[in-house]
Structure 1
Amino acid sequence: MFKKVFRYLILGLGVYALIATLVINFYKDDPQAMIWQDREAFNKRYIAKLSIATPTNLNTVLEYLGSPDLTFAKRDKEEVWQIIFYRTQHIKSDGITTMDECTGLLFRNGQLIFWGPNALDAFEQRG
């Protein structure tokens, strides 16, 4: 009797470990479905991993992080400048996401060129 219960217990733990491993490795996070605290942390981790050495385009960011919280764009001669903001730090519980709660990512013609606290300044200097 004890051996039978022990076998089922081991089998159950094995199935649980297999399912957990599959979910962790193959289930893509969906930022749109996350609660705001998790989404902030998710955004912050992704942005922290960005590197100039690895070219990143706008579509890649949108695919991974989803819709930005704020976005602005303008044309300067033949170039299109776009800055998108993702919330990365909570400041005030008022139900409104403001720029001081976000990190900006600046794109020129769809290519990421600058991000962080000074991205907005760089954007405003154009055109």
Structure 2
Amino acid sequence: MIRIDKWLWAARFFKTRSLAKKQVEQGKIKLDGQKCKPSRTVQIGDLLRIRKNDVVWEVEVTGLSDRRGSATIAQTLYQETPASRQQRESQALLRKMEYHSTPRPDKRPSKKQRRDIKSLKDQLPP
């Protein structure tokens, strides 16, 4: 058995253990559908819901480790559910499509255009 913050760090979901601990304390990590503390132990077969930025991972714990290894070793510690993978990929596709459909200017504004933009912004109420 191993602490959940240590496991999240070893499975490379977070860069540092303190970041993993903070996310668990904020309720972004749920173990079997319930909020937990960073000291909660993880066992093989537990279902974790990990919310990181806009991405939600639903993974089943398949291995335990308290050491941070390579990414290939870290991927053996969990198995993502098919529904989670599909949802994550569809969200990534939507974000990509949204990015490409956003209008972009052809070039940078000139000095006069920048002054006009600044004066317009200054006229807006705070």
The TM-score normalised by the length of structure 2 is 0.25
The TM-score normalised by the length of structure 1 is 0.25
